[in-house]
Amino acid sequence: MNPKIDHFMQAAIAEAKQGLQEGGIPIGSVLVKDGQIVGRGHNKRVQDNDPVTHAEIDCLRNAGRIGQYGDSILYSTLMPCYLCAGAVVQFGIKRVIAGESLTFAGAKNFMESHGVEVIDLDLEECKQLMKDFIAKNPRLWDEDIGR
């Protein structure tokens, strides 16, 4: 196992793979608070026919109201977009760990400009998951990122 992949990122990757198995876009996310996963989710835009059910949004919904978010960490297999980065900033999440940003640069600078520590693990497994998906579903991917 890659030493850069802890069990939290493994859980996010498992969420991404679940989304892919459901016919959706393979992006997964988990929210960690006090060393425990309190929410998990995956991109369900296709499954729910909902343009804003990104992995991070699904994860936050599934976590429910947890009070203060400042000591939580959001893991995502892909660098969060502006929609999801806005939620990170809105709720005061101070740390985001992304599996990769090569496929999609996301809103790293936006989050950092609002005091969020953003770590890009540049994981080959996350990049390959997206590369394979985009090769088979280019129109769906373009829709997901607003092209």
Residues with a catalytic annotation lie at: 56
**Mode of pairing for the β-strands spanning 72-76 and 95-98:** parallel
* Structure tokens belonging to residue 129: 């998951």
Burial of 91 (0-12, 13-18, 19+ CB in 10 A): middle
Work out the number of other CB atoms within 10 angstroms of the CB of residue 97: 20
